[in-house]
Amino acid sequence: MPFQLQPLEKSFGVVVSDIDLRALDDPSFESLYGAWLEHALLIIPEQHLSNAEQTAFARRFGELVKGLEAVEISNVLPDGRLREAPGDDMMKIIRGNMHWHQDSTYMPVQAKGAVFSAKVVPASQGDTAFADMRHAWQALDEERRTRCAELSAYHSLVASQKRLGEETKQEDSEYFGYGLDVEGVPLRPLRKLHPETGTESLAIGRHAFAISGLTTQASQSFVDDLLNFAVSDPHRVYQHRWRVGDVVVWDNRCLLHRSCEWDFSEPRVMLHSRIAGDPATEGALLSQRQLD
Ligand SMILES: [Fe+2]
């Protein structure tokens, strides 16, 4: 193998070294892709990719989500000033994503994964945390696993932001469209089969707000209990402390993630490239449900 792999002392994740992501030939990329499927999270320090270089690297994992090929997620305005919390709509989404989630589960097709890198990091904090839902599925007791295998959850960004009191403006918002104008509400089984490895995982997260067939109250406590359980074991949770130039690639089909708190008076600029899911395997079940 043309690079080094050092697995984390966790149920998932691997640090990749002696590698330049700009100069990977096809066989090397195939090896890296295999490591990604096995470990679900690649951590690749000291890459310092430009936006174009990151887009090109991410594209090797699959089609990218339109408009999210290389998008900065930051608390810095285009003119360099810091965003004023709490009224800023972008900050509402950033604060929302400090809760465990999988990307785009509220869309008709959820994401396959993401390439994510650090451009500017605060002096401390601002980590990104990940949790292994393959391990969580295996850790469920027999009774709960059997029950989860039969249930599906509705996912909504509108509902998850509302629940946190972080609703964005209806008009003249910087954040509009993506995830907020979904027709019908995607319904997703709690048991997710990985399309490439066949591994089962628990599909849960902040966007799951209701279970099909349960009352609102019963489903909320079911979803909350399940999510708390999913992230309760430190062996399946890893928190990455960023250094400028780090790149991570996560598999959104079996990991949860969240960004961690930092002092908003310090800039944090991350570059996100979202890899599109396969509609055949990451597509939601048909749903006629509308939000109330
Ligand atoms: Fe995310």
* Cα-to-centroid distance, 55 and ligand 1 (Å): 17
Q: Is the pLDDT of residue 128 over 80?
A: yes
* Cα-to-centroid distance, 114 and ligand 1 (Å): 9
* Cα-to-centroid distance, 101 and ligand 1 (Å): 6
Instruction: Note the pLDDT tens digit of each residue in 161-172.
Output: 999 999 887 777
Residue 9's alpha-carbon distances to 15, 126, 151, 235, in angstroms, are 11, 22, 32, 8
* Cα-to-centroid distance, 258 and ligand 1 (Å): 6
Name the DSSP class of 21. G
* Cα-to-centroid distance, 104 and ligand 1 (Å): 8
* Omega of the bond leading into 45 within 30 degrees of 0 (cis): no
* Cα-to-centroid distance, 30 and ligand 1 (Å): 25
What residue spans define the domains of the chain?
4-278
* Cα-to-centroid distance, 291 and ligand 1 (Å): 22
- CB 256, CB 101: distance < 8 Å: yes
Instruction: Note the pLDDT tens digit of each residue in 191-241.
Output: 999 999 999 999 999 999 999 999 989 999 999 999 999 999 999 999 999
- CB 130, CB 235: distance < 8 Å: no
For range 98-124, the mean pLDDT: 97
Q: Is the pLDDT of residue 177 over 90?
A: no
Pick from 146, 162, 174, 177: which is nearest to 90 by CA? Answer: 174
Name the DSSP class of 252. T
* Cα-to-centroid distance, 205 and ligand 1 (Å): 11
Whether domain 4-278 has CATH 3.60.130.10: the reply is yes
